[in-house]
């Protein structure tokens, strides 16, 4: 891209000089002022005061000390997947599951969009690290933005400050990320033409990724992953492409430390699409006595082989950007407790005394609510009070279940990886992969229901390979090949791979499994398999527990329900194979041969051939 490819490099480095780049972006966007962020507490206090003055942040009362409510524009409430694009020279490198754009054409469109887009506004320069600064798995980036909300949120979600800036200025590689809400206040002559608003945005939205030159450009949206460019844009789309080139993995996963009653510790990663219990699992309070689950991360995991050939993982983020609806003391006590203060709530409802509320927080809604747009609400309104994608942004240090190793730059050794979708039928509660290739097949063929976190029809089932459908920055079939290659390199030290499904339903439509803290019972079986203490039944889904090896004591689950939970019906999986075949057909010659072999093996098993 011309806007960066011809920028002078830092002294003694092949990396573009960050100050020259900032000057180039300022020349294009024409802000009234340029401010470098230092990540300090004093800076955060200034930004918050500014946000309160302009009406972006509304202070909350004492129960949420130092916290604020933000209301976005009604058309800027979630990721915009249909306007999220991957620009590669060869369309096949983006693949059929991404929205491909030609890099040259896209550059011309971006220049037109960004020209003068920050007139009258402040351009903040945010140097940040994903992962502990200077760590062997960590990466650096610089986001420029004219969104105060984005600056504040990046300060929570990443490690912003002079330490990252100094490494970048010294020539360390970094990812450039340009963001504008597309709401200039002045015309080309410097005359003010409109007042600022509490939530500036633009009807035109475009989130562009250039994996070949490792750039991100986002226009028009101030919300979530569209604006916090260190999150999905960098930590998944660009990082996944970087990982493929450099031999590591960037995945949409949680990461936890599990401690058994005997004091043995295991680290488990898990790929779960939105609304599949990822945050609840990451902050689980186990129901089983003596078991402990500690949080390392709830959304993104970077994994790299260490000098001993083991797969090590970090959570590259420094905070949680969680979905508020459904979060309560009953469903996720750790998440609920960490929201005591210093939190930014977005698109939540507001109580009569000025506090925040969302569906699921209490059994019944309080009287006198304002909905997420600030309008009076009652149960008769016929719509949720909080937006279904209402969010909280909070520092990781406030999580009561946070593991003491969460910030270790070396990361933790991964013992097991779970793949979990949201399936009412077919997929059993838990199944272990027979080997690494079968585990990659389980990850590649995950399916789940669409949620409010992404635009689309809520409830519609879609294939979501590795929970990365919206986030893989290159051809998904090449992503599966990369996983297969990593498995070969890991050999006997590779983590065990499992599929899980908390959402199976009975004939009456009710959930068969209680979920939440009871999922520790599944973890107990996973650990038993890691330790070689229990056998398993080979089914079309993989290796499933014997009914007596799944601890259901105290759950009052009838025997036939336990059997149904662990059933992998051949006829169901024969239909499943048809859906998988449709997915695989999209990738043509890019499909790894081993994935085709796994599909054929599945068909044989469903037809009694195995």
How many percent of the chain have pLDDT more than 90?
91
pLDDT at 210: 97
- How does pLDDT run across 562-607, given as a tens digit for each residue? 999 999 999 999 999 999 999 999 999 999 999 999 999 999 999 8
The CATH classification number of 320-398 equals 2.170.8.10
Indicate if the pLDDT at residue 110 is higher than 90: yes
pLDDT at 557: 96
- Enter the DSSP assignment of 419: E
Farthest-apart Cα atoms in the chain, separation: 77
Q: Give the separation between CA 449 and CA 320, rounded to whole angstroms.
A: 23
Other CB atoms within 10 Å distance of the CB of residue 352:
11
Q: Give the separation between CA 393 and CA 595, rounded to whole angstroms.
A: 39
Query: Quick one: average pLDDT of 501-510?
Result: 93
Q: Where are the CATH 3.90.228.20 domain residues in the chain?
A: 250-319+404-606
- Enter the DSSP assignment of 585: H
Q: How confident is the model at residue 413 (pLDDT cuts 50, 70, 90)?
A: very high
Other CB atoms within 10 Å distance of the CB of residue 38:
13
Contact 351, 369 (CB under 8 A): yes
Active site residue 399: no
- How does pLDDT run across 222-265, given as a tens digit for each residue? 999 999 999 999 999 999 999 999 999 999 999 999 999 999 99
Indicate if the pLDDT at residue 380 is higher than 50: yes
**Pairing, β 319-323 against β 391-395:** antiparallel
Indicate if the pLDDT at residue 4 is higher than 90: no
- How does pLDDT run across 259-308, given as a tens digit for each residue? 999 999 999 999 998 778 899 999 999 999 999 999 999 999 999 999 99
Query: Quick one: average pLDDT of 7-31?
Result: 85
* Homologous superfamily in CATH for domain 2-56+83-246: Phosphoenolpyruvate Carboxykinase, domain 1 (3.40.449.10)
3-state secondary structure 287-308: CCCCCEEEEEECCCEEEEECCC
Contact 47, 148 (CB under 8 A): yes
Contact 177, 144 (CB under 8 A): yes
**What are the Cα distances from residue 535, in Å, to 49, 432, 492, 499, 589?**
60, 11, 20, 17, 38
- How does pLDDT run across 466-499, given as a tens digit for each residue? 999 999 999 999 999 999 999 999 999 999 999 9
pLDDT at 260: 98
Q: Which two tokens stand for residue 237?
A: 């789309």
Q: Which of 37, 233, 276, 399 is catalytic?
A: 276
Does an H or E element contain 129, and which? strand 122-130
pLDDT at 1: 45
Q: Where are the CATH 2.170.8.10 domain residues in the chain?
A: 320-398
Q: Where are the CATH 3.40.449.10 domain residues in the chain?
A: 2-56+83-246
Contact 370, 376 (CB under 8 A): yes
Query: Quick one: average pLDDT of 20-35?
Result: 97
Query: Quick one: average pLDDT of 385-389?
Result: 96
Q: Give the separation between CA 500 and CA 273, rounded to whole angstroms.
A: 12
Q: How confident is the model at residue 361 (pLDDT cuts 50, 70, 90)?
A: very high
Give alpha helix (H) positions in 255-361: 278-282, 333-338
pLDDT at 277: 84
- How does pLDDT run across 87-104, given as a tens digit for each residue? 999 999 999 999 999 999
Query: Quick one: average pLDDT of 540-550?
Result: 98
- How does pLDDT run across 169-219, given as a tens digit for each residue? 999 999 999 999 999 999 999 999 999 999 999 999 999 999 999 999 999
Any residues with CB less than 8 A from the CB of 609 and at least 6 apart, and which? 603
Strands (E) across 351-415 are located at: 356-357, 391-395, 412-413
CA 198 to chain centre: 26
Is the pTM for the entire model greater than 0.85? yes
pLDDT at 448: 79
pLDDT at 5: 62
Q: Give the separation between CA 463 and CA 477, rounded to whole angstroms.
A: 13
- Enter the DSSP assignment of 518: G
Indicate if the pLDDT at residue 608 is higher than 70: yes
- At the top level of CATH, the class of 250-319+404-606 is alpha beta
CA 64 to chain centre: 25
Q: How confident is the model at residue 449 (pLDDT cuts 50, 70, 90)?
A: low
Angle ∠(426,495,273) on CA atoms, nearest 5: 45
């Amino acid at each position: 891209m011309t806007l960066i490819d011809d920028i002078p490099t830092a002294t003694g480095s092949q990396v573009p000089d960050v100050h020259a780049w900032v000057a180039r972006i300022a020349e294009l966007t024409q802000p009234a002022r340029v401010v470098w962020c230092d990540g300090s507490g004093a800076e955060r206090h200034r930004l918050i005061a500014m946000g309160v003055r302009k009406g972006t942040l509304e202070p909350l009362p004492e129960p949420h000390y130092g916290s604020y409510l933000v209301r976005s524009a009604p058309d800027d409430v979630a990721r915009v997947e249909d306007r999220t694009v991957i620009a590669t020279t060869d369309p096949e490198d983006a693949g059929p599951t991404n929205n491909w754009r030609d890099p040259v054409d896209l550059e011309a469109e971006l220049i037109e969009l960004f020209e003068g887009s920050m007139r009258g506004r402040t351009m903040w320069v945010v140097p940040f690290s994903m992962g502990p600064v200077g760590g062997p798995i960590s990466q650096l980036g610089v986001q420029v933005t004219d969104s105060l909300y984005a600056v504040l949120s990046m300060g929570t979600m990443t490690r912003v400050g002079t330490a990252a800036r100094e490494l970048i200025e010294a020539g360390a590689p970094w990812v450039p990320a340009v963001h504008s809400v597309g709401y200039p206040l002045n015309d080309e002559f410097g005359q003010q033409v409109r007042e600022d608003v509490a939530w500036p945005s633009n009807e035109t939205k475009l989130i562009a990724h250039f994996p070949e030159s490792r750039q991100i450009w986002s226009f028009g949206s101030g919300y979530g992953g569209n604006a916090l460019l260190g999150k999905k844009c960098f930590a998944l789309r660009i990082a996944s492409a970087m990982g493929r080139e450099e031999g590591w993995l960037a995945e949409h996963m949680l990461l936890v430390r599990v401690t058994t009653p005997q004091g043995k510790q295991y680290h488990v990663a898990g790929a779960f699409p939105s609304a599949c219990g990822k945050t609840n699992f990451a902050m689980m309070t186990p129901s089983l006595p003596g078991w402990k689950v500690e949080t390392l991360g709830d959304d993104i995991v970077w994994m790299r082989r260490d000098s001993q050939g083991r797969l090590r993982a970090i959570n590259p983020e420094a905070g949680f950007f969680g979905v508020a609806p459904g979060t309560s003391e009953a469903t996720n006590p750790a998440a609920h407790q960490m929201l005591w203060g210093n939190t930014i709530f977005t698109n939540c409802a507001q109580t009569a005394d000025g506090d925040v509320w969302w569906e699921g927080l209490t059994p019944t809604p309080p009287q006198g609510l304002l909905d997420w747009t600030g309008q009076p609400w009652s149960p008769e309104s016929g719509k949720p009070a909080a937006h279904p994608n209402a969010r909280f942004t909070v520092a990781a240090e406030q999580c009561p279940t946070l593991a003491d190793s969460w910030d270790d730059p070396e990361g933790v050794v991964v013992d097991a990886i779970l793949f979990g979708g949201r399936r009412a039928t077919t997929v059993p509660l838990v199944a272990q992969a027979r080997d690494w290739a079968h585990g990659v097949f389980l990850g590649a063929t995950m399916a789940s229901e669409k949620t409010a976190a992404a635009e689309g029809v809520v409830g519609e089932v879609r294939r979501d390979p590795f929970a990365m459908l919206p986030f893989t920055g290159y051809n998904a079939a090449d992503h599966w090949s990369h996983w297969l290659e990593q498995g070969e390199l890991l050999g006997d030290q590779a983590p065990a791979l499992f599929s899980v499904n908390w959402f199976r339903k009975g004939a009456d439509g009710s959930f068969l499994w209680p979920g939440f803290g009871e999922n520790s019972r599944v973890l107990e079986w996973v650990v038993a398999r890691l330790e070689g203490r229990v056998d398993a039944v080979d089914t079309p889904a993989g290796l499933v527990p014997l009914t007596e090896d799944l601890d259901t004591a105290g759950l009052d689950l009838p025997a036939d329900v336990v059997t149904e939970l662990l059933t992998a019906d051949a006829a169901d999986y024969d239909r499943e194979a048809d859906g998988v075949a449709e997915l695989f057909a999209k990738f043509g010659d890019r499909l790894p041969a081993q994935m085709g072999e796994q599909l054929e093996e599945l068909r044989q098993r469903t037809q009694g051939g195995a």
